[in-house]
Structure 1
């Protein structure tokens, strides 16, 4: 099973303070992907502990969490004991993680923000 490192940076989000995007804000995700760039649920079940996420922004400390799944719902979880910190990702299981693709993450204020996949690198 191969894991990939996926980097997503904040894309243009008209109507927000990020209307022009912000390359300094985003996520770095380590996850198993299928050959076509989709999350691999079967491989995830075997490597769950290695599937991590880091949220980064210039005005806050980086937040380290994990990729999590309940049923068919995927999300980013920053504290196993607290569901209030979960960041839902719109249709994460249906997204293709390839450079140039877009992913929507709901922030801590409940706003859906769009991120652009800027890097996908296989991990050794």
Structure 2
């Protein structure tokens, strides 16, 4: 299984008209040939799909990218809790290629934050 390092940074929004490179996610996950998250490859080694959330100097949060049994993808920071999970909005449909946009629902908020795929590289 090939893992990719997907670097997301906050896209332009009302609070950050130029975006914010100090807020985002580093995701290590398998992608298929079209750039979609590869669920079949993920199922072979789910603990390999990791996420680091970085947020303007706050302590980084470490978690896992998890395919939820009801469908869709979540970022799970503590497996024994659900209130800290973040939901990738339609992650199953998105293409993870530089310049594309994805949205994530922050834990504890109803608001979606939009991120730009800044880079995608084969993980080392």
TM-score w.r.t. the length of structure 1 is: 0.93
Contiguous gaps of at least 5 residues in structure 1 = none
How far has the Cα of 1:111 moved from its partner?
1.2
Matched residues in 2 for 1:59 and 1:106: separation? 20
Q: CA RMSD in A?
A: 1.1
Matched residues in 1 for 2:67 and 2:112: separation? 19
After TM superposition, the runs of 4+ consecutive aligned structure 1 residues lying more than 4 A away are none
- Classify the secondary structure of the residue corresponding to 2:121: strand
How far has the Cα of 1:88 moved from its partner?
0.6
How far has the Cα of 1:20 moved from its partner?
3.0
Partner of 2:7: 7
User: Given the alignment of the two structures, is residue 78 of structure 1 paired with residue 77 of structure 2, yes or no?
Assistant: yes
Contiguous gaps of at least 5 residues in structure 2 = none
How far has the Cα of 1:59 moved from its partner?
3.3
Q: Deviations over 1:51-73 (max 9, x none)?
A: 00000012310000000112322
* Structure richer in helix, relative to its length: 1
TM-score w.r.t. the length of structure 2 is: 0.93
